[in-house]
Structure formats: structure tokens, C-alpha cells
A and B are shown apart, each in its own frame.
Chain A
Amino acid sequence: MDTHKGVLVCGEMAEGRLAPITIELLGIGRKLSDQLGETLSILLMGSKTGSLGQEAIAYGADKVYVAEDGLLDHYNSDAYTQVAANLCLKVLPSIMLLGHTDIGCDLAPRLNGRLGGGLSMDCLSLSIDPTTQLLLATRPVFGGNAHATVVSRSARPQMATIRPKIVPPAVRNESRQGEVIPVEDKLDPSAIKVKVVDRIKEEVEGVKLEDAEVVVSGGRGIGSAQNFGMLRELARVLGGAVGGTRPACDEGWVPASAQVGQSGKVVSPKLYIAVALSGAMSHIAGCLGSKYIVAINKDKEANIFNVAHFGIVADYKEVLPALTAKLKELLSA
């Protein structure tokens, strides 16, 4: 077990750059490895990684393992698992960090299954226990109603996926020194059983939910797709985007891609307007980073009022039209 040393980040690239989550992972990874007095490494997989190795060093990595192969151009579960597992068997990291993204959610549990490590998914914070030097991972359980601390006593690596936008990104420092090491092992194409047939990008109209400064979300209480029109109108006036709870998405009132929450999108707008939704912890998990939360709900006991800054207790149908009209007037003035 003490043959395992150091922190290894599994990097992600987006549009030729390090993905934001990767820079966040380098930030927390640096902290953990400094506490342990061990090195921070990162694995980059892709068809071409260009100067991103140097980039990762500037963000805190001591070593960058670069695996370049045409088969790694896009995420493929079998190919990425193979490369990452082989590297882990070689460098024997004590801790391995991945993003809680669609890639990390797939790769982390498979790698764990293959390596026999100890994995915590969707972590909100990580620290090192000062006495045991073990990784303490805190993650939501029971739909976010509770937080559990998870420890892996003997299984290695100690693995964690971290929810995006929870830890601050690493600070860039051009003068940092590090080493870029090419991964020489060739991929075995015969082990790639899952084939990618197609990739469909769903275009969203208007502002992207994740980038919006204002998000208007509706829940089960909205009652119909047609009634969501009122939320769309309010969002339009505020230049924002429309989101929904899982029941609202299930009913097809809003597209599945607009689901906010633990198993949907994490948003952090200036203003989050929550309409006719109860504020289940698993929903709130997706909007706690908002500067202001406004709740409109007819039930004054609804949990959403525990996290909101402003609220109105009423039927939303009697509130939204006037709210939208007045905001339109005030904002055009």
C-alpha cells in the first residue's frame, strides 16, 4: 500500500484546451499532494495534446503523462479505461482524481472496478486526515439530504470524482517546472468493444443554461408544457434561460437537457428563480452556487424557502404575469 504514492489527475480536454474541471482538479490535487509531500501528475489522453502538457505544468502538475492515439480522439470508455488503467498499474498513484462529468462518471467506476481501488463519486470536498494520511472524501447521499465522509483504508488508488465548480481553479504560473512524459504503450484495438456510432449535439435556443446570468426553473407544480410559456416569457425579459426539476423534465414540459440538479446541470447564475418546485436537496444541489435565489411557491413550508433570499407564497399563475410585466417596464426604463 505505501508502494502507492502521489496524486494523479485524469485530465479532460475541451476545444483544444484543458477543460475547466481539469484546472479545478489540478488546484485541489496540488493542495493534497503538498500536504502529503508527494508529486502531482496528470494524464492527458487524446489524438493530439499539443502544448497542453506545458499548460498543465503551469497549472501545478509536476509530471504530465501524455497518451496520444487516434483512437483517443473522442471519449471511448474501453479505450480510455485501458490507457488509464495501464498507467495506474505503472505509476501506482495513491490518489486519483477525476471530474464528475459525463466522462468521469463513466471512466471512474470502470477504472475502479478494474484496479480494485476505493472510489467516491460526486465529491464536494476532499482533505487529508492528518493522523492517518488517508483521503477523506465528502459526498452527498440520500439525494443530498445527508453528506457522508468516505475513506478507503487499504484499497488503492483512493479515487474520487469531483463535482464541477465546487473547488477553485488552480492559479496559472508560467514559471513552474515539470516533465512531460509520453505514454508509449500501444492501445489494443481488439479490447475496444463499445463503438461510437454517432454523436448528436442538441442545439439550444437562446442562452445556454450553464452560462446564463438568470435562470428561471419550474417544477411539478407548473402543471403543463403550455404553462411553462410563462416562465419562458420571464426568462426572455431577463435575458436568461429556462430550467426544470426532474419531474418537469420527465413530463416533457422542458427538455431533459434543462434538468437542474445533482443528476442534471449545475448552474451558478446571479439570479435563480424557482417556481412551483419544492426544493428537494437533489434539485438544490444544482443551483446553490447562485448569488440570489427567489422562490415562488404556494406552500410556505416548502424547503425551497430555506435556501431562498426572496420569496412569494402564492399561486405562481397569479404572480408571474405581473412580475414579468413589471420587470419589463423597469428594465426598459
Chain B
Amino acid sequence: MHTIVCVKQVPDPEIPPAKFKIDPEAKKVIPPPGVPPVISVYDERAVEAACRLKDKHKGKITVISMGTGKVSDVVRHALSMGADEGFVLEDEAFENLDSFGTAYVLGKAIQKIGGYDLVLCGRQAADWGAGQVGSILAEMLGIPVITLACGIEVVEKNIRVKRIVKDGYEVLEAPMPSVVTVSSEIGLPRLPAGMSLMLARKKQIPVWKAKDIGADLSELDRTKAHTEITGLSVPTRKTECEIVTGNTPNEAAVNLALKLSKLI
């Protein structure tokens, strides 16, 4: 079983909203100083899902990440969780791509790697969060896709996926290879430890450029982008909050109860 996981590096989404800053002119987010970027939340869960499949069925996990800067950090994080091999996709031509451009580059890399049974993505990236790269990728690769997975199993030659819906879940089956997008309900990611942590430190992480994956640069022409961000703003919503007090928390609670009982 060979699983390829697509992981993205994002600014830490857990910083308090007060520290979140943008440059509205450039339509860019200013990363908070001193806070290192992290692996996107759902992508870490996708790595976890891949590791669980490997625990059960053996095989291999390959991780790919497209980006600039120290993207190899997130690949290494995935390696330390239990992935076997990782590649970084970095090229000027890959910067500021829309979802189609991103899916195209990931698809080219996946085709170069080849011999895969399953491609895992997160349901949505924690930064721009377009929520569509996995599905577009599947359409480009011409293979089935199942979204919003909260559980993945292999049943004979098929992949069996629990997919979250409003009032429960569906159990779906697709032939391999398929793309599956993973949601947080799949469960918490493991902490890197032991052998894989050691191996991950030493592992070479090759960097592939456009020519290495045979990407056609005209596909990445940003003047033909499917979507463009024309505005960026920070929503302001500030409610006058009445802090209810008392001599003790107990008393504050009683005072709050008196107010609430009038509202409901």
C-alpha cells in the first residue's frame, strides 16, 4: 500500500485574533514575528490517517509539500510521525497559485512519484482554506474522490471511508487509487517519537522544480488564474460586553443568573 499525502505549511492558526495582521494593499497576511509556521491542521490528520493505514497494512507513505522558505520543516514533521519519503516543490512559477495551479503542480509531482494507491489531502488548508484542491486534483488525475473523511479502511482492493454528514456519517467505498480528503474527526495526530524521529532528522528531502516534474509553465500563467483575491480585510465586530461582578465568583454567578432569567 502506497499513500501519498499532500501537506501545506501555514502560519500558526492558533495565534490570538489580536495578533493577526494583514497588509490590505498587498492583500497579504503578515506572519506574526517569532511564531514559526506549522503543518496545516487537517494535513497533519491526513498524515496520521496514512500512518494508521501503514500500521495495519504495511507499505509506504510519501509526503509532498509545495511552498517557499523552510517548507521542508513540515515534510520532516510528517517523516517523524512515520512517513517514509518526502519531497518539496519549490519554484518561482509555483508562487501565488490558485487552487487549479496548486492541484496541477501536486498532480504532476504525484504522477512523477507514481505507483500510488491512495492520495490524502486535508479537507481545507488552515490559511487561505479554499477547500477544493483535493477534489480538483482527483478530477485532474481522473480518479475517484471522497471528501470529509473521519475514518479510512482498506477492504480488499477498495478504500472504505466514513464521511461526515450533518446528522451522522456515510460509509463509502471506492476503488484504488483514489483521493480522500481528511477532516479533524479522524482523531488526534500522534506525537513524533522513537525510530521515525531519528530517521527523519537524517533524511534527505529533495526539492523539485517545475522542470523536474515536467510542469507546463503555461498552465501556471497567473494572468489566466481561475480566481483572484481582490480584497482582504479584518472583520470588526466589537460588542459592548458587560462584565458581571460580585464579591465572589459565586455572587457574580447569581448576578448573571438574575440578568439571564430576564432574557429567556
Report A-chain residues with C-beta under 8 Å of the C-beta of B251.
Answer: 322
Whether the pair B257, A326 counts as a contact (CB closer than 8 A) is yes
Known: A145-B20, A322-B254. A311 touches B244 (CB 8 A): yes
Q: Say if the beta carbon of B1 comes within 8 Å of chain A.
A: no
Known: A113-B140, A151-B228, A196-B171. A141 touches B257 (CB 8 A): no
List 11 contacting pairs A-B, 8 Å CB cutoff, sorted by A.
A144-B235, A152-B227, A193-B178, A198-B171, A199-B170, A263-B183, A281-B17, A295-B241, A306-B237, A308-B241, A311-B244
User: Which residue from A113, A150, A295, A318 sits with its C-beta under 8 Å from B135?
Assistant: A113
Task: With both chains docked as a complex, state the minimum distance between the C-beta of A216 and any C-beta of chain B, in angstroms.
Answer: 12
Task: Identify the stretch in A39-47, A58-66, A90-98, A114-122 within 8 Å (CB) of chain B at 4 or more residues.
Answer: A114-122
Q: What residues on A are CB-neighbors of B138 within 8 Å?
A: 110, 113
Per-residue CB proximity of A295-333 to B under 8 Å, as 1/0? 100001101011111111111001111110011001100
A151 and B227 within 8 A (CB): yes
A106 touches B16 (CB 8 A): no
Whether B127 pairs with A196 at a CB distance below 8 angstroms is no
Expressed in whole angstroms, the minimum distance between the Cβ of A309 and any Cβ of chain B is 6
Q: Tally A residues with Cβ within 8 Å of B.
A: 93
CB distance from B148 to the nearest CB of A (A): 7
In the bound complex, CA of A330 to CA of B188 (Å): 41
Given contacts A141-B232, A198-B171, A281-B235, 6 further A-B contacts (CB under 8 A): A102-B164, A109-B135, A122-B131, A193-B144, A263-B183, A310-B256
Q: In this assembly, does A33 line the interface, its C-beta being within 8 Å of a C-beta of chain B?
A: no
Interface segment out of the listed A2-10, A48-56, A179-187, A286-294: A286-294
Partner of B258, one of A112, A141, A257, A330: A330
Check if A141 sits within 8 Å of B261, measured CB to CB. no
CB distance from B41 to the nearest CB of A (A): 9
Is there a chain B Cβ closer than 8 Å to A22's Cβ? no
User: What is the 8 Å Cβ interface bit string for chain B, positions 172-201, against chain A (1 contact, 0 not)?
Assistant: 111100100001110110000000000000
Pairwise interchain contact A327-B260, C-beta atoms closer than 8 A? yes
**Residues of chain B whose beta carbon lies under 8 Å from any beta carbon of chain A:** 11, 13-14, 16-18, 20, 22, 27, 29, 99-100, 103, 123-124, 126-132, 134-140, 144-148, 150, 160, 163-175, 178, 183-185, 187-188, 224-235, 237-245, 248-254, 256-261, 263-264
Cα distance, A152 to B100, chains bound together (Å): 12
A 75-119 binary contact with B (CB < 8 Å = 1; else 0): 001100000000000000000000001100110111011101111
Give bound CA distance, A195 to B239, whole Å.
Answer: 48
Least CB separation from A138: chain B residue: B231
- Complex CA distance for A306 and B243, rounded to whole angstroms: 11
Q: Out of A152, A256, A310, A323, which one reaches B241, CB within 8 Å?
A: A310
Cross-chain contact B258 with A326 (CB below 8 angstroms) = yes
| Bound CA span A45–B200, Å | 49
Q: How far is the CB of A180 from chain B (nearest CB, A)?
A: 28
Cα A281 to Cα B15 in complex, Å, equals 11
- A235 within 8 Å of B by Cβ? no
Q: Find out whether the CB atom of B242 lies under 8 angstroms from the CB atom of A196.
A: no
Please determine whether A322 and B250 come into contact, CB atoms closer than 8 angstroms. yes
Answer whether A315 and B249 are a contact pair too, CB < 8 Å, given A150-B230, A193-B144: yes
Contact yes or no, B126 A105, CB < 8 A: no
CB < 8 Å: which of B124, B146, B160, B239 contacts A263? B124
- Of the candidates A249, A294, A320, the one having the most CB atoms from chain B within 10 angstroms of its own CB is A294
| A33 vs B186: C-alpha distance when bound (angstroms) | 41
For B227, give the chain A residue with the smallest CB separation.
Answer: A118
Note all chain A residues with C-beta closer than 8 A to B238: 306-307
Q: Is A1 an interface residue (CB 8 A)?
A: no
Whether the Cβ atoms of A141 and B171 lie closer than 8 Å is: no
Bound form: Cα–Cα A143–B231 in Å = 17
| Set of chain A residues within 8 Å of B150, measured between Cβ atoms | 256
